[in-house]
């Protein structure tokens, strides 16, 4: 968020006014008109419903109780930022020995005699109150170009000193990240902190201390990647990698979609340490449009990121304007969630218009703490229209996507039925529970179109060509064109959306048929989940247009399908033949470089394609010899096979390479590898 500073005197006046006003605010802290509150709706479905607070608010139990009606997680607006923990004017230096006695983390490469003292008193108080009230907290923020004292980057921690070199700053960065996080997780109340905005607004940094030391890189900012790795090492130390998640947080993300995706993918090169994107959402009814905003949201979801809406407020021209915008916005957000989008938290940036950081505006859905505005009702209405009333759905926990799906844990349902076989050909797929058919929504012939269930009408969007592959799976090609049934982003998660995508025959487009106790009825396992999850009609519903996703096997009829032969003589789709390439020089000016990191039982290959052709390259293909390289998993690319070669092609955001530019991606394999391999770059 933008700077959010309040002079001490003004803060005290506001605090007194707030406490005084709280005594006289409406005694009813429940929402006044909505049938359900945000915790019963968004908190139950998304996992977390949040708000922004300050410690002085948390000291008042009535304010805390009012906030708890709608929130189960809070973000401190100021008290966890670097200038609050370190002091903004000058450093209070202590010796390394004293720092160690206080429990600070001192890296082995830290060469200085002193470190700045970190003042945890206020934030410790806030964390303790949250812990005692069953509230979780978002750590906001560790690395930011704003509200970070300039002396942190200078020699001797002096505001007049020269900027330090990168080696010194690396040690200071590791000291700060690990000392702050370790302070909480080594204490009694550490379980309160479940998310961290490790880095904030890197894409908008201008002339910051970080850039003075490390350079002005944005989408490949090395200090950002280091900060995430240091933070993840803390989670590993305290065995929290499955319960705490790290995010990159930024504003105007709808205007920076490609750069955000590039930065997060850069952070995750080699190892996934960043769960996804915190979309600060300081919106206005005049800009961005609801569609513009949700296009960005869906782009991040398609990129495989977990998304959290972290700082939501909406400037407006009055109640009617706010009501209309909030309703349409949340209809779109809920639609993305219903379609399998991994959205796990929505945080409003302030508990009421009286506490907003935006002067002379009324951008929130509460007029005073605990007093809802009409827009509150519209937000709840958008939820119930999408998901039904609370009680009609089962809240699903948010699951962290893993780079490589793991086998089914013990205790989960396992499908022990035998593998089935169906001949190649055109079929309708009818769900036995709803008696409706697998349908491309809107009969839309485009990549990314959604798949749902629909009444049988003989549409091309209900016709699927079964092709048996040579590895025991099938693909399902739509009659609408060269599109295959596809698990969004090749995800292994419950709820991952099913749609159609350009046919390439990768794991996301391969399925395994299993027999059921009824002859001619099958379940359809997804290869991307390692056959743990199955094609599933969402929430057992039978109504027209219900979404289709993947879900853990449990053998109910909404996971069972009948393959009905299409009577007409349809043209059999033919796969586009890919000739076995002969290694040859790459296109002049388009070059591949790579590094190989061996660790005995496996290896990682990091690839870089550079463009010096003199023109922008739109689309590229890399073919790598399978006899020399084994690819078990990859990132930032799509991988298929043809003969003796892996065929590597780009994802949407890195298909175009500007002249003088480059893109990077990687793969991991098991076994041994030499120092080089044959390839063709086209």
Active site residues: 201, 311
Give the Cα separation of 149 and 91 in Å (integer).
9
Give the Cα separation of 636 and 624 in Å (integer).
16
Quote the Cα angle for 564-570-576, to 5°.
Answer: 110
* Burial zone of 10 (CB within 10 Å; 0-12 exposed, 13-18 middle, 19+ buried): exposed
Answer left, alpha or beta for residue 654, where phi above 0 means left and psi between -120 and 50 means alpha.
Answer: alpha
Give the Cα separation of 536 and 254 in Å (integer).
31
Give the Cα separation of 170 and 209 in Å (integer).
13
Length of the chain in terms of residues written: 682
Query: In the numeric block, which tokens belong to residue 492?
Result: 């292994």
Backbone angles phi, psi at 282, to 5 degrees: -85, 90
DSSP string, 559-606: G-EEEEEP-S-PPPP-PPP-PPP---PPSTTEEEEEEEEE-SSEEEEE
Give the Cα separation of 491 and 486 in Å (integer).
10
Q: How far is CA 39 from the centre of its chain?
A: 22
DSSP state of 409: P
Under a CB-based contact definition with an 8 Å cutoff, are residues 138 and 68 in contact? Answer: no
Give the Cα separation of 550 and 529 in Å (integer).
9
Backbone angles phi, psi at 61, to 5 degrees: -60, -30
**b/e sequence 446-458, b meaning 16+ C-beta within 10 Å:** ebbbbbbbbeeee
- Going by their DSSP bridges, the two strands 451-454 and 622-625 should be labelled as unpaired
Give the Cα separation of 440 and 545 in Å (integer).
10
Query: In the numeric block, which tokens belong to residue 418?
Result: 């035998």
Of 76, 40, 14, nearest to 388 by C-alpha is 40
Query: In the numeric block, which tokens belong to residue 14?
Result: 């506001």
Query: In the numeric block, which tokens belong to residue 216?
Result: 């002005």
- Going by their DSSP bridges, the two strands 93-95 and 617-618 should be labelled as unpaired
Max intra-chain CA distance, the chain = 83
Residues 6+ apart with CB under 8 A from 138: 50, 73, 74, 75, 193, 194, 195, 196, 197, 310, 347
Give the Cα separation of 583 and 118 in Å (integer).
58
Query: In the numeric block, which tokens belong to residue 614?
Result: 């003199």
Backbone angles phi, psi at 111, to 5 degrees: -105, -5
Backbone angles phi, psi at 158, to 5 degrees: -110, 135
SS (H, E, C) 43-105: HHHHCEEEEEECHHHHCCHHHHHHHHCCCCEEEECCCCCHHHHHCCCCCCEEEHHHHHHCCCC
Query: In the numeric block, which tokens belong to residue 611?
Result: 């463009």
- Token match 């490469």: residue? 109
Strand partners, 475: 467
Query: In the numeric block, which tokens belong to residue 176?
Result: 């700060």
Q: Which helix (H) or strand (E) holds 278?
A: strand 276-279
Give the Cα separation of 633 and 492 in Å (integer).
13
């Amino acid at each position: 968020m933008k700077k959010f500073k309040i002079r001490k005197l003004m803060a005290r006046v506001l605090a007194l006014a707030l406490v005084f006003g709280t005594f006289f605010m409406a005694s009813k802290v429940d929402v006044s008109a909505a049938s359900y509150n945000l915790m019963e709706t968004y908190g139950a479905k998304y996992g977390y419903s949040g708000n922004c607070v300050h410690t002085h608010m948390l000291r008042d139990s009535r304010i805390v109780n009012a906030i708890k009606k709608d929130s189960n997680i809070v973000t401190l607006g100021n008290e966890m930022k670097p200038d609050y923990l370190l002091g903004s004017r000058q450093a209070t230096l202590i010796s390394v020995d004293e720092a160690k006695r206080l429990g600070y983390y001192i890296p082995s490469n830290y060469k200085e005699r002193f470190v700045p003292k970190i003042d945890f008193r206020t934030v410790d108080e806030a964390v303790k109150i949250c812990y005692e009230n069953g509230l979780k907290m978002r750590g906001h923020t560790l690395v930011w170009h704003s509200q970070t004292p300039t002396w942190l980057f200078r020699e001797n921690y002096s505001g007049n000193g020269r900027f330090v070199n990168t080696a010194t700053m690396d040690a200071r960065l590791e000291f700060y990240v690990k000392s702050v996080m370790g302070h909480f997780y080594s204490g009694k109340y550490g379980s309160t902190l479940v998310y961290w905005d490790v880095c904030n607004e890197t894409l908008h940094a201008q002339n910051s201390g970080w850039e003075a030391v490390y350079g002005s890189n944005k989408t490949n900012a090395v200090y950002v990647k280091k900060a995430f790795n240091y933070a993840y090492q803390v989670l590993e130390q305290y065995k929290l990698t499955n319960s705490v998640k790290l995010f990159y947080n930024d504003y105007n993300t709808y205007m920076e979609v490609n750069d955000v995706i590039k930065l997060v993918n850069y952070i995750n090169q080699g190892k996934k340490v960043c769960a996804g994107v915190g979309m600060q959402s300081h919106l206005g009814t005049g800009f961005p449009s609801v569609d513009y905003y949700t296009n960005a949201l869906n782009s991040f979801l398609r990129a495989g990121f977990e998304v959290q809406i972290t700082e939501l407020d909406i400037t407006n021209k009055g109640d009617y304007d706010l009501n209309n915008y909030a309703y349409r916005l949340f209809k779109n957000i809920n639609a993305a969630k219903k379609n399998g989008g991994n959205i796990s938290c929505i945080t409003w940036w302030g508990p009421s218009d009286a506490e907003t950081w935006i002067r002379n505006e009324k951008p929130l859905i509460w007029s005073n703490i605990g007093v809802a505005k009409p827009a509150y009702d519209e937000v709840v209405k958008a939820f119930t229209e999408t998901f039904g009333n609370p009680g009609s759905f089962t809240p699903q926990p948010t699951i962290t996507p893993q780079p490589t799906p793991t086998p089914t844990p013990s205790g989960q349902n396992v499908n022990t039925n035998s593998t089935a076989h169906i001949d190649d050909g055109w079929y309708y797929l009818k769900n036995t529970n709803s008696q409706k058919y697998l349908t491309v929504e809107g009969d839309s012939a485009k990549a990314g179109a959604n798949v749902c269930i629909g009444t049988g009408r003989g549409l091309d969007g209900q016709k699927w060509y079964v092709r048996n592959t040579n590895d025991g799976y099938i693909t399902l090609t739509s009659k609408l064109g060269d599109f295959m049934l596809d698990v969004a982003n090749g995800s292994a998660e419950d709820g991952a959306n099913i749609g159609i995508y350009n046919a390439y025959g990768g794991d996301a487009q391969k399925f395994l048929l299993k027999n059921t106790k009824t002859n001619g009825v099958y379940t359809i396992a997804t290869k991307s989940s390692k056959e743990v999850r199955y094609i599933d009609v969402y929430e057992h519903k039978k109504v027209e247009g219900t979404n289709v996703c993947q879900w853990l096997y449990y053998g109910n009829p909404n996971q069972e399908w009948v393959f009905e032969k299409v009577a007409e003589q349809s043209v059999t789709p033919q796969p586009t033949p890919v000739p076995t390439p002969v290694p040859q020089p790459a296109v002049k000016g388009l070059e591949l470089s790579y590094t190989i990191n061996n660790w005995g039982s496996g290896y990682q290959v990091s690839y870089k394609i550079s463009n010096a052709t003199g023109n922008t390259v739109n689309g590229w293909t890399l073919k790598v010899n399978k006899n020399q390289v084994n690819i078990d998993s990859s990132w930032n690319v799509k991988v298929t096979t043809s003969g003796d070669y892996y065929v590597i092609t780009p994802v949407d955001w890195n298909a175009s390479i500007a002249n003088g530019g480059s893109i990077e991606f990687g793969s991991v394999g098991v076994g041994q590898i030499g120092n080089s391999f044959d390839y063709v770059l086209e």
